[in-house]
């Protein structure tokens, strides 16, 4: 393989896989130095290889330190020895480009003790073939290592961020997801309860941890972590992303219910309204992403009484008493709010306690029944024969009316009799 052809292959691979040319060249130079020591020198020699990718040119240099008296012939030399060699002497100096060196030719008269010099020891013919074969092996064996390091560094920076994932398959209890350039693992502890992971389904996941392994980066992702909810609000609510609305606390029972405490940093911004969005559009997008998980948005307060009372929403709290020493909040609610305050299987009060950091005790308010008692007393004071009195009056009225009718009838009879006599 010709060197210029090799450089073209390397450039193509670097471009396709997104690997820096500099890192590939560095590995090739190390491999070529090892090959030179094996075939032309010794392992103790200080060999530096310069592989110029653009020109496809390889140069081999042996590095020496100038001393007055040689103690280690592999690494040291004298000015007299250099004169006898009659070789071209070079020095490596820092380049204008970061972390790069340039080679300059130097004269012996400009050198002094403790200087480090390089002598060109590049073989004339046979080394070209060795260089090509070694470089080819490096491309095959080492390029994967560079790619693994590149992927590791790329995803390590994404720890704590939300990224898109595509469900590939289910392996045992783990769900394997395609994250783009590599796979991620969604373990059972980080899955949403009762959520179905079908091959091809698109999800948003939180990158929990990235570990380095010989086979490449191992990436652990989550669907149940509270931080996922925070990042989703940052994506969907511009006011949260900009910092106008701050999320102070989050607690989740993934797939079932969550509570999030928010506060506005801008007087003109309603924190709950901003999070909910017009006609609930923003919050509904997040709920849909989390497979229907219910989300309670409450106002954060520095006053523990108000904060605890708000955290029990949708229940309404009549009164809250605090035990500062034991951090116990006793909340009194009306009977019709008792079940709401506690929640199904104690979920509402449990989430509120985690959100606020207070142990919450729910008690029912005792309602005094004074009005009802007064009403009963009035009824009791009424005489028992009231109804009988009313019936007597009615009977009297009916008797009077019947008597008047009989009287009228008698008068009519008398009038008729008088007329007959006449």
SS3 318: strand
Does residue 359 or residue 384 have the better pLDDT? 359
Beta bridge partners of 118: 63, 90
**Average pLDDT over every residue of 408-421:** 66
pLDDT of residue 12: 78
**Pairing state of beta strands 183-186 and 116-120?**
unpaired
Of 131 and 349, the structure prediction assigns the larger pLDDT to: 349
Over 50: is that where the pLDDT of 344 sits? yes
pLDDT tens-digit map of 107-133: 877 788 888 888 888 877 666 676 667
pLDDT at 280 over 50: yes
Question: Which domains are delineated in the chain?
Answer: 3-141 (3.30.1480.10), 157-221 (2.40.50.140), 225-300 (3.30.300.20), 303-375 (3.30.300.20)
pLDDT at 291: 92
Q: Which residue has the higher pLDDT, 5 or 10?
A: 10
Question: What token pair was written down for 345?
Answer: 């299987």
Helices and strands per DSSP (H, E), number in the chain: 14, 17
The pLDDT value recorded for residue 189 is 94
Place of tokens 């994967």: 144
Percentages helix, strand, coil for the chain (3-state, rounded to 5) are 45, 25, 30
Q: Which tokens go with 297? A: 């948005």
Give residue 116's pLDDT.
Answer: 85
């Amino acid at each position: 393989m010709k060197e210029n052809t090799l450089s073209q292959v390397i450039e193509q691979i670097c471009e396709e896989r997104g690997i820096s040319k500099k890192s590939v060249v560095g590995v090739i130079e190390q491999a070529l130095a090892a090959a030179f020591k094996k075939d032309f020198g010794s392992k103790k020699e200080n060999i530096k290889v310069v592989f110029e990718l653009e020109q496809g040119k390889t140069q081999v240099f042996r590095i020496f330190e100038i001393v007055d008296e040689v103690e280690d012939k592999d690494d040291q030399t004298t000015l007299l020895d250099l004169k006898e060699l009659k070789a071209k002497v070079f020095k490596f100096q820092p380049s204008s480009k970061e972390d790069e060196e340039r080679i300059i030719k130097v004269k012996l008269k400009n050198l002094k003790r403790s200087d480090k010099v390089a002598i060109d020891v590049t073989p004339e013919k046979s080394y070209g073939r060795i260089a090509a074969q070694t470089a080819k092996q490096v491309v095959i064996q080492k390029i994967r290592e560079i790619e693994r390091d590149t992927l590791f560094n790329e995803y390590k920076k994404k720890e704590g961020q939300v990224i898109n994932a595509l469900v590939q398959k289910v392996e045992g209890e783990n769900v394997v997801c395609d994250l783009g350039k590599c796979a991620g693992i969604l373990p059972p502890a980080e899955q949403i309860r009762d959520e179905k992971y079908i091959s091809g389904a698109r999800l948003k996941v939180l990158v929990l941890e990235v570990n380095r392994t010989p086979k490449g980066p191992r990436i652990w992702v989550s669907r149940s972590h509270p931080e996922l909810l925070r990042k989703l609000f940052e994506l969907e609510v511009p006011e949260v992303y900009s910092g106008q609305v701050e999320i102070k606390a989050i607690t989740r029972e993934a797939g079932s219910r969550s509570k999030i405490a928010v506060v506005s940093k801008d007087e003109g911004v309603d924190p709950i309204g901003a999070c909910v969005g017009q006609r609930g559009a923003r919050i509904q997008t997040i709920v849909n992403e989390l497979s229907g998980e219910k989300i309670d948005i409450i106002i954060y307060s520095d006053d523990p009484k108000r904060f605890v009372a708000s955290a029990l929403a949708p229940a309404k709290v009549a009164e809250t008493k605090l035990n500062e020493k034991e951090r116990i909040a006793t909340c009194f609610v009306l009977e019709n709010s008792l079940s709401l305050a506690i929640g199904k299987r104690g979920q509402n009060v449990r989430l509120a306690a985690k959100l606020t950091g207070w142990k919450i005790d729910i008690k029912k308010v005792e309602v005094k029944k004074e009005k009802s008692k007064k009403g009963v007393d009035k009824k009791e004071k009424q005489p028992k024969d009231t109804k009988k009195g009313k019936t007597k009056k009615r009977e009297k009225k009916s008797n009077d009316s019947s008597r008047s009718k009989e009287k009228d009838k008698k008068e009519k009879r008398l009038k008729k009799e008088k007329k007959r006599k006449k």
